[in-house]
Amino acid sequence: MLHSPIEPYDNGWLEVGHGHRLYYEQCGNPDGQVALYLHGGPGSGCSPRQRRFFDPQRHRVVLFDQRGCGRSTPAGDVANNHTDALVQDIEALRRHLGISRWLVFGGSWGATLAVLWATRHRDACTGVILRGLFLAGRADLEWFFHGVSALAPQANSALMQVIPARWRDRVETWLDRSFSGADPARIDRVVLAWRAYEHALGSWPGSAALAAPSDDEWPALRARYRVQSHYLARRCFLGEAKVLDAIARLHGLPVAIVHGSQDLVCRPQNAWRAHQTLRGSRLAWAQGAGHDPFHPASLQLLMTALAAHERDGHFNAWPAALP
C-alpha cells in the first residue's frame, strides 16, 4: 500500500545551462534518509503519486523533471537534451541541495539514468533501486515496436496504422521526424496512438481506463512524446553495451532490481541480464505484474526494498520471502 499523500516542503527551479531550467521538489522529513526518484520516459515527468513510495517520516525524497519534461522549461525542448546532460543535471541538483549522499531509485528509463549516475558518482551513492530496467539498445526498441506484437497484436496493429508502411522498419526515425515537422495534425495523431499503445502494454486488470486528453493535457503530451522520440531515434545516446558495462561497474554498491514477470514494455530478460552482470545484486520478480510500478506485486517489492535500505543500509535481507 502506498504511503499517505504528501506535499513538498520545498520546491524550485535549477538553471542547468543552454536555456534549460529544471523543476525540483523535496518531500517528507528534512532530516530523514535522502532518496532521489528518477522518472521514466524518456519524456515523462514526476507526479504526486510517485512521492508516495516513500515513508514521509523516514525519507527526505527529491524528485525532479528532466530536461524538456513535466514542469521543466522549455517544455519539449530537445536542443542540448541528451543523456550525458541529464546525468550532469542529477549531480548539479545534488550539489545545489547540499546533499552528500543519497539512495537513487529509478524506473524504466529512470533506472537507466540511475545506473549511469551511480557509476560516475559512487561515493555519493548509498544504494540503487532499479525497476523495469530499460537497456536502451536496438533489441529493446525492436521489442517495443515489433516483437511485442506476438503478445499484443491488436495494440501493435493500432499503432502501426498511423505509421506509413515504408517507415515501419524505421519507426523511431519516422516518429522523430514527425515531431520535428510542422504538421500539427500528424503530431496529434501520433500522440494519441502512442499514448494508447503505452497504456495497452502497461495496463493490468483493475488499472484505470484511459480517458481522452483534456485541453490542458495536450501541451504536456506533445512535449512528452517529442522528447521521447528524440531519445529513442538516437538509442538514448547509449546502446545496450554501454548500459551493461555501467551496471557491471556498480559492483560493491547495494543494488535491488524489481521487474514485472509479464512486463511487455521492458523485457524481463533485461533484469536477468543485469543481475547476472552485477555480482551481489538482489533480484525480485513481481509475479503477474507488467511495467506499471503501481501493480500490487511491484509496489510491495519496491516499498519493502526502500524499507530494507532505510533500516539496514543494504538489501541483503530483501526480499524477506520470495513468492
Catalytic residues: 108, 263, 291
What's the burial of 157, exposed, middle or buried (CB within 10 Å: 0-12/13-18/19+)? exposed
Query: What contacts 24+ positions apart, CB below 8 Å, involve 155-158?
Result: 155/196, 155/197, 155/200, 155/201, 156/197, 158/193, 158/196, 158/197, 158/200
Phi, psi for 191 (deg, rounded to 5):
-55, -50
CA distance 21 to 155: 36
Judged by DSSP in three states, 47 sits in coil
At residue 110, what is the residue type? Answer: G
Place of cell 556498480: 250
* Total number of residues shown for the chain: 323
Q: Which residues contact 247 (CB under 8 A, 6 or more apart)?
A: 115, 274, 277, 278
**Which grid coordinates are listed for 234?**
538516437
Judged by DSSP in three states, 181 sits in coil
